[in-house]
Amino acid sequence: MPPYLYERQTGEFFFLIQYIEFQKETQLIKTAIHSILKEITGIFNNNGKRLYLVGGAVRDMLRGEKIHDWDLATDAHPDEVTKIIKNAKGKVVPTGIKHGTVTVFYKGHSAEITTFRIESKYSDGRRPDEIQYTSDIEEDLSRRDFTMNAIALRLPEGEIIDPFKGAEDIKAKIIRCAGDPEKRFGEDGLRPLRAVRFAAQLGYEIEEKTLNAISGALSVCEKVSQERVRDEIDKILSSPLPSRAFLLMEKTGLLKLFLGELSACRGIEQKGFHRFDVLDHSLYACDYAAANNFSHELRLAALFHDVGKPKVRKMDSSGVWTFYRHEEVSAEMTRKILNRLRYSNVVIDCVCHLIKEHMFNYTENWSDAAVRRFIARTGEKNLKDLYCLRQADSSAFAGKEPDHHTLTKLADRVEKILLCGRAFTIKDLAVSGKDLMKAGIPSGKTMGIILNQLLETVIDDPEQNTKEKLLEIAGNYFKKIHTAAQRR
């Protein structure tokens, strides 16, 4: 085998990829194309149509990475694609027919096939007013966002079509607009967000002119739907180093536009507690969460856990900044931010709960009742996540590994207490609402108050969690409430 070829086994795909240096000579990528892809290409060719692998698939292949999905482009019109695939006993779903895209299912595999197109006018800053099909692959490539995403690989032989020298940019790890950045960003306000997202995902630099054009396109970015912004934020959070994108967003004005609450954390010094201002601290915490493969909710919680600090900051008499109740205000603000970005209620509740509880200060003096109260407040299923958030938070105090010692001690105490039985929610009480009703306590608000008081009692002293004792305590509470009401 020639020295410039290397083999790579990537899941079900097996590629022989030529080093990019040699493309100029041959313009060929030697690759073992998946047999199904070859079969689909054969069917198209027999119908006089061409098929190319395009977009992220080619980019990732040139990076030597695994390909997640097959993005294909063709000169066949969507109607023709449908007919060709159906005649070959495949299935077609018009998933993005407005953009000329259909998804085809063939012999257990799927691929998105988009008809070559040129885009004309953009008046809403997001979608072209009309779509014009073309038979020229180079025209199709010129409507794509970045040079690294504007490369096509002709199937089945692997001829590379790279009018914007995207392969060179991939080699140099550069994100560059395909064409004039001001014009390209002016057409579609999602592109600047994609640029910063790719910078974090791939660890690439954004080329200077491309980067400089972002701040001029903010009024177009403003038109992007919150759902699309959220999808990009999610991809940033899933990247190895989210801060890379958020700092680029800050530099270009995108952070102020989409996450103004976070950008207001810049310059909020917290000397006495931290080396960093609130924004850098939050970004470090988020990077820690990403580096340690924490869940998506934890990454969001790490990013926003201190977002309320600018609002509550006050200087005390000794000249030290204080941030009382910042966890509550941060949770409230995060709820608004995540609602605005159309996150699901399940995600919002989980993230905000973690943020609200993140300020526990465990010491060995905590009584068992205090540990039980901590478990009840946090919720047993959230304990591990809260420890993780605390790790991310404390690692970002000084930008080094957090002190695991205290957390380990708390976790040990929690484990021991959980071994002695569980009475942390109303469901765990030895009496139910029905039992209380039988004892003469009417259902409604009073019943709710009494059940909560019983829970407090049991958390303080689990020995009280027997039916007999709780009925007695409940009876006494009820009498007290009843007498107080009569006096009024």
Give the shortest CB-310-to-ligand ATP separation in angstroms: 33
What residues does 206 pair with on adjacent strands? Answer: 175
Query: Two tokens at 385?
Result: 């996540």
Which does residue 144 bind out of Mg ion, ligand ATP, none, counting CB within 5 to 8 angstroms by kind? ligand ATP
Give the shortest CB-55-to-ligand ATP separation in angstroms: 3
Which does residue 188 bind out of ligand ATP, Mg ion, none, counting CB within 5 to 8 angstroms by kind? ligand ATP
Residue number with CB closer to Mg ion (70 or 288)? 70
Residue number with CB closer to ligand ATP (225 or 476)? 225
Residue in 146, 138, 134 with CA at minimum distance from that of residue 209: 146
Query: Two tokens at 332?
Result: 């409230």
Binding site for Mg ion (CB under 5 A): 56
Residue 88 neighbours by CB under 8 Å, 6+ apart: 43, 106
Give the shortest CB-107-to-Mg ion separation in angstroms: 22
Which does residue 353 bind out of ligand ATP, Mg ion, none, counting CB within 5 to 8 angstroms by kind? none
Residue pair 263/256 in contact by the 8 Å Cβ criterion: yes
Among 71, 250, 306, 393, binds ligand ATP (CB under 6 A): 71
Query: In whole angstroms, what is the distance from residue 259 CA to residue 307 CA?
Result: 10
Query: In whole angstroms, what is the distance from residue 249 CA to residue 282 CA?
Result: 15
Which does residue 149 bind out of Mg ion, ligand ATP, none, counting CB within 5 to 8 angstroms by kind? ligand ATP
Q: Check residue 149 for interaction with ligand ATP (CB under 6 A).
A: yes
Which does residue 145 bind out of Mg ion, ligand ATP, none, counting CB within 5 to 8 angstroms by kind? ligand ATP
How many beta carbons lie within 10 A of that of residue 351, not counting itself? 28
For residue 161, give the 3-state DSSP assignment. strand
For residue 1, give the 3-state DSSP assignment. coil
Residues from 29 through 68 that contact ligand ATP (CB under 6 A): 55-56
Give the shortest CB-168-to-ligand ATP separation in angstroms: 17
Query: Two tokens at 472?
Result: 């007695």
Among 53, 73, 190, 241, binds ligand ATP (CB under 6 A): 190
| Sign of torsion over alpha carbons 222, 224, 226, 229 | negative
Which does residue 82 bind out of ligand ATP, Mg ion, none, counting CB within 5 to 8 angstroms by kind? none
Give the shortest CB-187-to-ligand ATP separation in angstroms: 8
What residues does 229 pair with on adjacent strands? Answer: none
Give the shortest CB-94-to-Mg ion separation in angstroms: 18
Query: In whole angstroms, what is the distance from residue 331 CA to residue 308 CA?
Result: 8
How many beta carbons lie within 10 A of that of residue 345, not counting itself? 10
Residue number with CB closer to Mg ion (245 or 268)? 245
- Chain residues binding ligand ATP by CB under 6 A are 55-56, 71, 144-145, 149-150, 188, 190-191
